[in-house]
């Protein structure tokens, strides 16, 4: 295994204390010259502190969302350009929690992904089915349609590496439940067949114990990690499983 991308999504968690706890171990890991790419997506307010703590490493930074416009009267929002200015190179868009709690549609997610590209950020476009869709046997159809409508419109253009997809079944997020390896492999290969050679990460209850078998799947190019990214031992275990 090599060249996997492991993204930490801290969600609305984290503090100066957490950064102090996690950083020395991340820095020590980065010094081993790993082939795995690590990306940390803290809340906007903590990006700068993480940047300073991980100074001099190849660990990248990302935002958890961005606005689709470059600037303007949008109280509480942050633009892609602002993330770039903070040192971010990635941004998560269309996470299921944004889709659920902020009513984000595929169309809006696509606009955000395009805004990210315009600012030279790598968008991580999240897609995933509900349990109802999975049980009804339509997960692949639902998720591939969602991906086509949420991915940047020029996704078939020469550089296919300029955005990432994250397949995150909604029912697997924070639940401790993970799809079977066959189901993950099926979805990832369906997404690649639909969208070209895009890299597809898996997310949803990834931990140090299950990371190795998930990351060993051919079409799994990395992981998007929520809860386990807040615990040094777990996250380090996932980073090492990717190598
Ligand atoms: P989880 O979250 O790892 O806590 O399941 C993943 C995500 O929501 O990105």
What residues have CB less than 8 Å from 155, skipping those under 6 apart?
163, 195, 196, 198
**CA nearest ligand 1 atom 3, residue:** 226
The whole-number pLDDT of residue 154 equals 65
The whole-number pLDDT of residue 153 equals 84
pLDDT tens string 210-232: 999 999 999 999 999 999 999 99
Residues with CB under 6 A from ligand 1: 9, 168, 173-174, 203-206, 224-228
Given 129, 168, 188, 234, the catalytic residue:
168
Cα 203 to averaged position of ligand 1 atoms, centre (Å) = 6
**Which H or E element spans position 236?**
helix 232-241
Percent share of the chain, pLDDT over 70: 96
What residues have CB less than 8 Å from 183, skipping those under 6 apart?
139
- CA torsion, ordered 211, 216, 218, 220, to nearest 10 deg: 10
pLDDT tens string 120-157: 999 999 999 999 999 999 999 999 999 999 999 865 55
102 flagged as catalytic: no
Query: What ranges make up the beta strands (E) of 76-221?
Result: 90-93, 122-127, 164-167, 199-203
Q: pTM for the full model? A: 0.96
State the pLDDT confidence band at 66, using cuts at 50, 70 and 90.
Answer: very high
Mean pLDDT of the 63-78 span: 97
Given 46, 95, 162, 188, the catalytic residue:
95
**CA nearest ligand 1 atom 6, residue:** 226
pLDDT tens string 26-47: 999 999 999 999 999 999 999 9
Q: Spell out the alpha helix ranges (H) of 86-138.
A: 96-101, 106-118, 131-135
CA 14 to CA 207: how far, in whole Å? 18
Cα 167 to averaged position of ligand 1 atoms, centre (Å) = 11
Residue 166 alpha carbon, nearest atom of ligand 1: 9
Mean pLDDT of the 93-97 span: 98
The whole-number pLDDT of residue 160 equals 46
**Which H or E element spans position 211?**
helix 211-215
């Amino acid at each position: 295994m090599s060249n996997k991308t492991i993204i930490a999504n801290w969600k609305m968690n984290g503090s100066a204390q957490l950064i102090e706890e996690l950083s020395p171990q991340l820095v020590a890991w980065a010094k081993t010259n790993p082939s795995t790419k690590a990306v940390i997506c803290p809340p906007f307010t903590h990006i700068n502190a993480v940047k300073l703590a991980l100074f001099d490493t190849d660990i990248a930074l990302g935002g958890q969302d961005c606005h689709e416009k470059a600037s303007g009267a949008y109280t509480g929002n942050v633009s892609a350009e602002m993330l770039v200015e903070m040192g971010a190179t990635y941004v998560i868009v269309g996470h299921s929690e944004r889709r659920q709690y902020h009513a984000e549609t595929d169309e809006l997610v696509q606009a955000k992904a395009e805004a990210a590209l315009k600012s030279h950020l790598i968008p991580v476009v999240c897609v995933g089915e509900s349990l109802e869709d999975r049980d009804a046997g339509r997960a692949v159809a639902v998720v591939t349609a969602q991906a086509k409508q949420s991915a940047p419109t020029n996704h078939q253009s020469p550089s296919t590496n300029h955005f990432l997809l994250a397949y995150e079944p909604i029912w697997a997020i924070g639940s401790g439940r993970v799809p079977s390896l066959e189901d993950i492999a099926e979805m990832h290969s369906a997404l690649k067949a639909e969208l070209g050679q895009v890299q597809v990460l898996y997310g949803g209850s990834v931990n140090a114990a299950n990371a190795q078998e998930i990351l060993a799947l051919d079409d799994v190019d990395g992981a998007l990690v929520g809860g386990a990214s807040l615990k040094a031992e777990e996250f380090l275990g996932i980073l090492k499983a990717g190598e």
